[in-house]
Chains A and B, each alone.
Chain A
Amino acid sequence: MKKLITLIMTVVIALSTLVIAPACSPVISGGDPNKTWLYVGNYNGGVGDKWLKEVEKRFEKKYENYQLNGKTGVDVILDSNKETTGKTLISSISQSKNEVFFHQQVLYFDYVNQSLIRDLSGLLERQNADDQNQTIKSKMYEKDIENLTVNGKIYALPHYECYNGLTYDAGIFLKNRLYFSNSIAEDGTRKFITNDNTPLSPGPNGISGDYDDGLPSSFEEFYKMIDRMKGKSVKSVIWTGEYTHYTNILITALYQSYMGVNGINAHVDFDSNGEEIEIVTDFDLITNAEKPTPMIQKEVITQENGYLVKQSAGLYYALEVAAKIFGSQDYYYKDSTAGNFSQISAMRTFMKSGLKPGETAAMLIDGNYWYNEADDYGIMEEVKSEYSEAYTTKQPRFMALPQKYSGTVMEGEGNAPTMIDSYNAYCFINAKTAENKVDLAEKFVAFCYTDSELKEFTKNTNGIIKGVKYDYNSIKSSLCDYAKGVVEMRAEAEKAGTYMKAFSNNTIFKANMNAFMVDGTSEFWESKVGGGSKYLYLAVRSDNYSAKDYFNGMKITQSTWENTYNK
């Protein structure tokens, strides 16, 4: 026993001497002491930091003769991690060394109100000789300028855009004849394709020969498609069971698609600009007891009746689709409900679906950033080396979702896809940046927003678009097929005006962002059923609640609206 004591004591005393030195190495290590350091913080999920590492090299090269405090050159020091998002950074930014930030889920108005970030107005108006004398402001969308302006000043720049949705595997769709053909049956519905060469339907946008051909153009067709999948023992969807909010991503995507830009604008602005929005007032349970039909009335949304955004038909239809999918294992990959089924596992399984024996999943629930993430994690390479030849049939594509409930879209009758970004990703400068470093920080931001860097960003992130105006179409040829599809959709949406950020500077929205943000984690999805949950998925599976029950539980009463939100 004495030996044991001696041993323990020796170890403890020896190790205690180490206490004076930090036990873990800090993430931000030092740089070249002869150069000026610029600290840059980056959220390392989704778009990752490969792009930023490339920017770092080019920026350091460009400013190799930059002079400050007797030092020559710049050393950009990256602090790239997934631990902090814009939501959590707010509590630590004042202690952070980082001077420039690229983060998502940024509570912009809170940052501004608490004076945590610098006013960028001057920088935005400055002409950049390295960028054909353009100003950054000239690249910003009008709506963003309007939304981000606080007391005449702008404190952040849109960073990247991501879209919630579904990714489908074109290979599995073709093999299992899941595409809709261009022929119409006697009952007016579309038939499915019967062979590889059957001409495809024009898809939701009504234009043949592009990215969405053969895809369901209405919610009815979507139902038909998932039932066909069920008939062929193909699981409709797969998602990570580790994060329950991924189930809300499906609902968000369907909701946004149905509502369109006007509907979502009405949601975040509580003002439909005189346009009438479909509101569900009640349900007809007599015609079909199993499938209640919503009774719809059209209403103009204003500040006074803003609570109606939680009664919209689009919301109900989205919940209805999701309830059907989550309600039966016939529609989803078995591991999706397991808490140990990580996001990466979901991506890997999706990529191997159809290639390996076992359950096949046709669609992945995730934001469009997943492809870049999977690529960064080496999943594409892994699957490619495992299934060398068969891998060529693997064709993941971002899905254009239906925008109407019933019928089908005929050639020339459709709409451009609704592309709504709700990730609130911004670039900003820390308010506590030393005055003599502000110039360098601004130079870095300006550099990141030059045309050439914006294009490089999209190239290095597998087609993720930066939230400003630039010619991303010109680099389409250098992108993978998945990214090309996203870029095509985004370009079409921009042209048609069906693109937006789900954000607003409306007073009610600003004061209640968490309650009305249109993303998977938002409390917008909260329903009173089952003791209160913000996941339809849980309510459907645990207590057999229907979409109708859940929808009714989501409602906000007029008095709550007046007393809590529109005070």
Chain B
Amino acid sequence: MAKKERAFSTERKKELIFYCLMFALPVLQILIFYFYVNFRSIALAFTEYDVESGKYFFVGVENFIEIFKGVHPKMTNFNMNFILSNTLLIFAMELLFGFIPAIFFSYYIFKKYPLSGVFKVILYTPHIVSTIIFVVIYRNFVESALPQISEKLFGLEMQDVFNQVNANSTRFFMIFFTIFIGFGTRVLLYSGAMSSISESVIESGELEGVKPLQELVFIVVPLIWGTVVTFLVVCIVGIFSNQMTAYSFFGEGLDTKYYTFGYYLYYRATKLDMTEYPYLSALGLLMTLFAVPVTLCARYLLNKYGPTTD
């Protein structure tokens, strides 16, 4: 018995050694590139860079106070009003015109209605072809071809539609594009989840004369609610990283009035200006502090009060 136990413990020891060895590198990577980086980022948020000495020194919560004032003097082109309103706008638009239609499109594909196979590929194509390639095509089309088409077909003169002059149309075309290219993964995952719904459930609904819309709302959506919640959470998390593909369209030349948090954080980080790092970290930390509870709450509420199959 003791021999057997000893053999077992040797076996366990071997397993443990192997386990530790194999996990060593991935865990080290996470310790450095996740834990260290994020803790350093938190620490940076409370500092200011001294150009003379090339060091960061502690300034307490000064950076946060400045950010809350809305216009930070040391953060280039930082305007909280514009950034916040654009960020919320793109979130609402995505939710309304991207998130919900994706469920309907997925349902169409799930039900194998006419051409559903073709639509599945077409909806996924923007996910396969690089966004920047679509940006080049789309931008040139909207700026040059669309005005010509509109004039020839409808006699309508379209000017300044996508050159930041007309704020409404510029925003419209950016948001439209963001939503337009965003269906691929959502539709794929929703329809994937739908395909795992038991056939008998659907059939029994049909036998009871349930109409498609009722079937979708009362049977399909509740059954894939887990996937829907996940995407909603992803959508909420994305509030602060969504750029409206603005950097791809306009690079650094974007006018302040179109800034979002995602754009601002990315754009300023590309400048590699060490003096700005603390402010960017502070802004990131603020957003994290806001996003974490919101995300967790949303997840909890959606799961608790979401639709059921009863």
Contacts and interface: CB of A to CB of B under 8 A. Distances in A.
Direct contact of A and B (CB under 8 A): yes
Interface of A: 241, 244, 329, 335, 337-340, 530-533, 537-538, 541-542
Contacts of A241: 163
A340 B144 contact: yes
Contact of B140 (A329, A340, A538, A541): A340
Contact of A538 (B144, B159, B162, B165): B165
B88 to A, nearest CB: 17
B296 interface: no
Contacts of B268: none
A340 B139 contact: yes
Interface residues of B, number: 19
Contacts of B256: 531-533
Given A338-B144, A340-B140, A340-B144, A244 B253 contact: yes
Contacts of A542: 160, 164-167
Interface string B70-113: 00000000010010000000000000000000000000000000
A538 B143 contact: no
Which of A538, A541, A542: most chain B CB closer than 10 A? A542
B160 A337 contact: yes
Given A244-B253, A338-B143, A541-B160, 8 more contacts: A244-B164, A335-B144, A530-B257, A531-B79, A537-B165, A538-B255, A542-B160, A542-B165
Nearest to B257: A531
A565 to B, nearest CB: 14
Interface in B109-150: 139-140, 143-144
Given A244-B253, A531-B79, A531-B257, A337 B165 contact: yes
A337 B255 contact: no
A266 to B, nearest CB: 29
Contact of A531 (B82, B159, B166, B250): B82
B254 to A, nearest CB: 11
22 contacts: A241-B163, A329-B159, A335-B144, A337-B165, A338-B143, A338-B144, A338-B163, A339-B162, A339-B163, A339-B250, A340-B144, A531-B79, A531-B82, A531-B256, A531-B257, A532-B256, A537-B165, A538-B164, A541-B160, A541-B165, A542-B164, A542-B167
A148 to B, nearest CB: 24
Interface in B243-281: 250, 253, 255-257
A340 B166 contact: no
Interface in B143-179: 143-144, 159-160, 162-167
Nearest to A532: B256
Nearest to A335: B144
Interface of B: 79, 82, 139-140, 143-144, 159-160, 162-167, 250, 253, 255-257
A541 B160 CA distance: 8
Across the A-B interface, give the 3 residue pairs with the lowest CB-CB distance, nearest first. Answer: A541-B165, A338-B143, A542-B165
B309 to A, nearest CB: 37
A530 B160 CA distance: 17
Contacts of B164: 244, 538, 542
A340 B147 CA distance: 14
A542 B167 CA distance: 7
Contacts of B159: 329, 337
Contacts of B253: 244
A341 to B, nearest CB: 8
A542 B258 CA distance: 13
A537 B164 CA distance: 11
Contacts of A339: 139, 143, 162-163, 250
A538 B253 CA distance: 13
Contacts of A337: 159-160, 163, 165
Contacts of B144: 335, 338, 340
A541 to B, nearest CB: 4
Contacts of B139: 339-340
B257 to A, nearest CB: 5
Which of B162, B165, B256: most chain A CB closer than 10 A? B165
Contacts of A530: 257
A241 B160 CA distance: 11
A329 B151 CA distance: 15
Contacts of B255: 533, 538
B89 to A, nearest CB: 15
Contacts of A531: 79, 82, 256-257
Nearest to A535: B255
A532 B160 CA distance: 19
B148 to A, nearest CB: 10
Nearest to B162: A339
Nearest to A538: B165
A141 to B, nearest CB: 34
Nearest to B272: A91
B255 to A, nearest CB: 7
B63 to A, nearest CB: 21
A340 B137 CA distance: 11
Nearest to A540: B165
B244 to A, nearest CB: 16
A337 B143 CA distance: 9
A243 to B, nearest CB: 8
B87 to A, nearest CB: 16
Contacts of A329: 159
A538 B255 CA distance: 10
A329 B165 CA distance: 13
A542 B79 CA distance: 19
Contacts of B167: 542
Contacts of B140: 340
A90 to B, nearest CB: 12
Contacts of B162: 339
Nearest to B273: A91
Nearest to A539: B165
A72 B159 CA distance: 63
Nearest to A537: B165
Nearest to A338: B143
A338 B145 CA distance: 11
